[in-house]
Amino acid sequence: MTANESAAEKRVVTQLNFGPKTAKRVTWEAWEFTVVGPHQVEVTNAAYGTEKSAHSYVVGVERRDGVVVPMECECPADVHREEDCKHKVALATVGEQTVLRAATAHESPAAASSSNDTARTTAADVLRTDGGSATADSNGGGTSPCLNGREWCPGPASDSLPCFSCYRGENR
């Protein structure tokens, strides 16, 4: 631990039960964290390289005494042993409060759609297509100079991007 860690981070680690072997493994291995749901973080041991997906487990977190703490992990070590697993310790020490707070602040898509927030704009709303129809001035007034008669194509002589046939000069 670093000397400038907050009191909350110290309290998280003190609420976990782990030995020196687990602490050493956590510091030696590479970790990736993904918030996958409300109060759920996927902890991946990236030290396994291309096989890291086989070493990825979901850790459940909850607020205890005002501090967010890793509570349970789906890995065999946490299920079958009394001590806390390396995934929970890694989440508490490497992921720290930033990842833990993100997991508790995560809102599920179902909850977001059921809320009264009707002013929310999604990327799909902003990036809607025009359905493929050509505008009147996109090809010089509505008549298509395309070699194949396509309405949306501005033709081979245009500065805009023509269809592939016009680009290659083919008439089919």
- What was the pLDDT predicted at 121? 60
Beta strands in 46-97 (DSSP E): 56-64, 67-73
List 58's β-bridge partners, or say none. Answer: 42
pLDDT digits (tens, 9 = 90+) for 96-152: 888 888 888 866 555 555 555 555 566 656 565 555 554 544 444 445 678 778 888
- What was the pLDDT predicted at 141? 47
Cα–Cα distance list, 145 to 23, 79, 139 (Å): 71, 70, 8
Mean confidence (pLDDT) of the chain: 77
More confident residue, 170 or 113: 170
Quickly list DSSP for 127-139. T---TTPPPTTTT
More confident residue, 161 or 74: 74
pTM, full prediction:
0.57
Q: Determine the Cα–Cα distance for residues 27 and 141; give it in Å rounded to an integer.
A: 67
| pLDDT for 161 beyond 70 | yes
What are the sequence ranges of the domains in the chain? 6-105
| pLDDT for 23 beyond 60 | yes
Task: Summarize the confidence of residues 84-106 as an average pLDDT.
Answer: 88
Local structure of residue 3 (DSSP, 8 states): T
Beta strands in 24-96 (DSSP E): 31-37, 40-45, 56-64, 67-73
More confident residue, 97 or 1: 97
| pLDDT for 54 beyond 60 | yes
